[in-house]
Amino acid sequence: MSRDPGPSVAASRRRHLLADPQDRDCVIFHLACLAAYACAFWLYLHPKLAGIAGPWSRAAFVLATAVMLGWISGVDVGVNFHNHSHRPIFTSQFANRWFARFWTFSGGWPSFFWEYCHVTIHHARLLDHDDWTLPRQNADGSFENFQRYLVSHWPWRLMTHLGRDLIARRSIRRKSLRELAIFAALWSIPFWIDPKMALWLWVLPHWIANALVMASGMYVQHSGCVPKSVARPLSHSTTFVSKFFNLTMFNIGFHLEHHDHPRVHWSLLPALHEQLKQGMIDGGAHVVPYGNYHASFLLAGDETRRKLFDQQALGYAPAAPSTATPSPSGNVN
10 Å Cβ neighbour count for 117?
21
Q: Are 151 and 135 in contact (CB under 8 A)?
A: no
- Of the candidates 26, 45, 168, the residue with the CA atom closest to the CA atom of residue 90: 26
Among 19, 75, 252, 285, binds other proteins (CB under 8 A): 75
Residues 289-318 that bind other proteins (CB under 8 A): 290-294, 296-297
Tell me how far the alpha carbon of residue 315 is from its chain's centroid. 27
- Give long-range contacts, CB 8 A cutoff, 24+ apart: 42-47: 44/194, 44/197, 44/200, 44/201, 45/193, 45/194, 45/197
Sole window of 51-59, 146-154, 173-181, 314-322 interacting with other proteins (rule: CB under 8 A): 51-59
Sole window of 35-43, 177-185, 227-235, 309-317 interacting with other proteins (rule: CB under 8 A): 35-43
Residue 40 binds other proteins (CB under 8 A): yes
Residue 194 binds other proteins (CB under 8 A): no
What does the chain come to in residues?
Answer: 333
What does the alpha-carbon distance between residue 248 and residue 9 come to, in Å, rounded to a whole number? 29
Q: How far apart are the first and last CA of the chain?
A: 35
Among 10, 11, 17, 35, binds other proteins (CB under 8 A): 35
Residue 278 binds other proteins (CB under 8 A): no
No. of helices (H) and no. of strands (E), the chain:
19, 2
Residue 29 binds other proteins (CB under 8 A): yes
What does the alpha-carbon distance between residue 67 and residue 85 come to, in Å, rounded to a whole number? 25
Among 170, 244, 302, 304, binds other proteins (CB under 8 A): 244
Residue 52 binds other proteins (CB under 8 A): yes
Q: Are 149 and 135 in contact (CB under 8 A)?
A: yes
Sole window of 23-31, 120-128, 181-189, 217-225 interacting with other proteins (rule: CB under 8 A): 23-31
Binding site for other proteins (CB under 8 A): 1-5, 21-22, 24-25, 28-29, 32-33, 35-36, 39-40, 43, 49-52, 57-58, 60-61, 63-65, 67-69, 71-72, 75-76, 242, 244-245, 247-248, 250, 261, 264, 267-268, 270-272, 275, 290-294, 296-297
